[in-house]
Structure 1
Amino acid sequence: MVNDSADYSGVHMATPDLGHKQELGIEMRELHIPVSLAPGEPTEHEVYAELCVPADGAPTVVQVLLHGAIYNGTYWDFPYQPERYSYVDHMVSRGYATLNVDRIGNGRSTRPHSTRVDLDSNAFVIHQLVTALRDGSLGRPFERVVLAGHSYGTLVASRAAAVHGDVDALILTSALHTTSPAGAAAMGGNIAAYAASQEPKFAHLDDGYKTSKPGTRAEMLYLAENADPAVIALDEELKETVSFSEMAHLERWQTDDTTRGVAVPTLVAVGDHDIVWCGPDAVDCSTAESVRAAEAKYYAPEAQLEVFVLRDSGHDLNLQLNSDVWFAAATDWLAARARTWAPASEAH
């Protein structure tokens, strides 16, 4: 449990240049939120996050957006052609709030020694953010909190939900319980074996931080024929890190009962050409039914598991040319869940 007496008075808020967001009627604030990495430890680290809300509304539902390994929050709010690629803009324009997080060890968040950045510390940090969202410490209270994860962010979201039980729904993308041989080879050769410190912008990091080898992201993360080369080029420029400790917890997540501890409605989404999880020796991702058949045993009935498969997509659903199809599916699923939620007086 998070320390209920935790002091969030140190949260620093600033208003950045909104640019096109103002035109869309989106209010955005930058937050630097003090957190600890484990129960009982001091709040000596900071998480950077962007809180976006409709400027003309008071949303009761907030989505906490958790990027994957070797990414930061720009995955969810891509700066190139945001009208096509920004999940944040899509959701806030439809009445939801979003908290787009640079997970600990990435982006503008604190970068502890890599051995401290793992699945458990990530999940505990997110638990603290959920608490702050509910009690109003980040500017306003929210009645409902949804965690949306991409790739390793899915591991973090499901771990936080299972251990702390304080969210209302999960949107889990690009992470399944079986890794394909091609996926294992890609992660091993292109990430685990490549210390981030070999690149100038990460030169200050210890060698336990990894990143993708230059020029490997297109094949590993996209169905390239359905992607804009300009997106892939910017993705390379914006790339981030993953700790070896985080990578070591992937197999644990796939084999322990983490997701069986999830007791809230859950949407799993994957691209049909995701080489990390899909293939003849892994999961048949050709249909939602085939993915659900493979994944259902890892979830409890309370998860009410639903699956969406994005056609002609690799690992990065948000960054394919047809991302709008995926965004619409997530919106429809979340709207259906919201119709089943109890009145505000009965919320957490």
Structure 2
Amino acid sequence: MAITSRSMTLLLEQAVLALAVLTGVATGVAHAQSPDRTQVERLTFPVPGPCAGGCKVVGYLYHDGTPSGRPLQVLVHGGTYDHQYWDLLELNGRAYSYARYMVRRQYTVLAIDQLGAGESSRPDGDALTVDVASAAVDQVVRAMRGGQNALGLSFERIALVGHSLGSNVSIHAQGSLRTPVDALVSTGLGHVAHELPLPEELVDRALDAPYWHMTPAERTASFFHAPEVDPDMVAYDNARFTHPISRGIFLTAMARTFEPAATKVDAVNVPVLVQLADHDVLFGSAYADGEAALWSAAPEVTVQRLENIGHCYNSHLTRHESWRGIASWLGRVLARAHEM
């Protein structure tokens, strides 16, 4: 079998924890087979956006056997990450891949690189706002719902799952564009107003350039709850995930986070699961009271409080609390959607 850049990435990650992985993958659909039998296929989606020659979003489809006929989760990562936030490497005998965990539970999973990150297009950083990013996510979901994708697959049941800035984008997509999903999962983002502990130098840097980077020290302080994270994971994560954040997304997200009408949190009209963690210094479960009431148009809202976990759930030793909660909730909600 030909060596694709995706399979090479998996090999490099297992061998060198503290080095960033090279990506540069050819356009089209690439195939890889992982040791756990999960198949991974690279898909490219044309999407609207301010890119010369048109924007594209790259996603990786994870499945075991035939991908169609199973519910689909479309995963949207947060700032500094790419799609591999959902497919972290196995480290020190522990599996950290949310995508492969869900494949074993009979889901097909599409993890995308958001515009501005990974292999997807990088528009001008001021033009790349939450509105633009959400329109791209909406187009990807519609392509998977209707079969307008390179594999010609269509899915009857779809859940949109976001993390942090990815939750912000996913909420705006469903609330403003009526992205055709049956359920929405928001992790690492709350809407009850509170002061965000962002260092002044970080904010200054975010305002200075169309794209800006978080430092390893800023990521460590914001993303991880040290007692529940393997130090090797922190080192790997800080080295691997160095994608810049667009000034446009940062400004629009920060301006709207605590304004339900602007975020469209009050316009989402599908069942919603919100997960908030006790040691998330950005959007912690201490602010969970009042969260459900803000989703005023959703037919059902469940707020789960996670214990002993920081902002980036998938990196933590306690990650399975989040994963089990999502799997259980989606199993119930999507089964009901299928019956209807």
Separation in 2 of the partners of 1:31 and 1:218?
Answer: 32
2:333 maps to what in 1? Answer: 337
2:283 maps to what in 1? Answer: 277
Matched AA of 1:170? L
- The structure 1 segments of at least 4 consecutive aligned residues displaced by more than 6 Å after TM superposition are none
Which SS does the other structure have where 2:75 is aligned? strand
Q: Report deviation, 1:237.
A: 1.1
2:22 maps to what in 1? Answer: none
Separation in 1 of the partners of 2:265 and 2:99?
Answer: 26
Which SS does the other structure have where 1:64 is aligned? strand
Q: Report deviation, 1:58.
A: 3.5
Whether the 8 Å CA contact 2:183–2:334 is kept in 1: the answer is: no
Flag the 1:69–1:215 CA change in 2: closer, same or farther, 3 A.
Answer: same
Residue ranges of structure 1 left out of the alignment (5+ in a row): 1-10, 197-205, 286-290
Separation in 2 of the partners of 1:37 and 1:156?
Answer: 14
Which SS does the other structure have where 2:329 is aligned? helix
Matched AA of 1:162? G
Matched AA of 1:255? E
Residue ranges of structure 2 left out of the alignment (5+ in a row): 1-25
Q: Report deviation, 1:12.
A: 4.8
1:228 maps to what in 2? Answer: 230
1:181-220 alignment, distance < 5 Å: 181=195, 183-186=196-199, 188-190=200-202, 192-194=203-205, 207-220=209-222
Whether the 8 Å CA contact 1:59–1:95 is kept in 2: the answer is: no
Flag the 1:270–1:64 CA change in 2: closer, same or farther, 3 A.
Answer: same
1:4 maps to what in 2? Answer: none
Separation in 2 of the partners of 1:212 and 1:42?
Answer: 27
Matched AA of 2:144? L
Which SS does the other structure have where 2:158 is aligned? strand
Cα RMSD for the two superposed structures: 2.3
Task: Decide which moves more: 137-146 or 166-175.
Answer: 137-146
Query: Which of 135, 146, 156 is the equivalent residue of 2:146?
Result: 135
Flag the 1:234–1:180 CA change in 2: closer, same or farther, 3 A.
Answer: farther
2:161 maps to what in 1? Answer: 148
Which SS does the other structure have where 2:143 is aligned? helix
Flag the 1:71–1:253 CA change in 2: closer, same or farther, 3 A.
Answer: same
Query: Which of 177, 182, 195 is the equivalent residue of 1:168?
Result: 182
Please tell me whether residue 49 in structure 1 is matched to residue 52 in structure 2: no
Give CA deviations for 1:192-245 in whole Å, capped at 9, x if unaligned: 33369xxxxxxxxx9211121232222211111110111111111122121111
1:74 maps to what in 2? Answer: 84
Please tell me whether residue 123 in structure 1 is matched to residue 134 in structure 2: yes
Separation in 1 of the partners of 2:238 and 2:73?
Answer: 26
Separation in 2 of the partners of 1:301 and 1:36?
Answer: 27
Please tell me whether residue 27 in structure 1 is matched to residue 39 in structure 2: yes
Identity of aligned residues (%): 26
Q: Report deviation, 1:60.
A: 3.2
Give CA deviations for 1:311-341 in whole Å, capped at 9, x if unaligned: 1111011111011121111100000102211
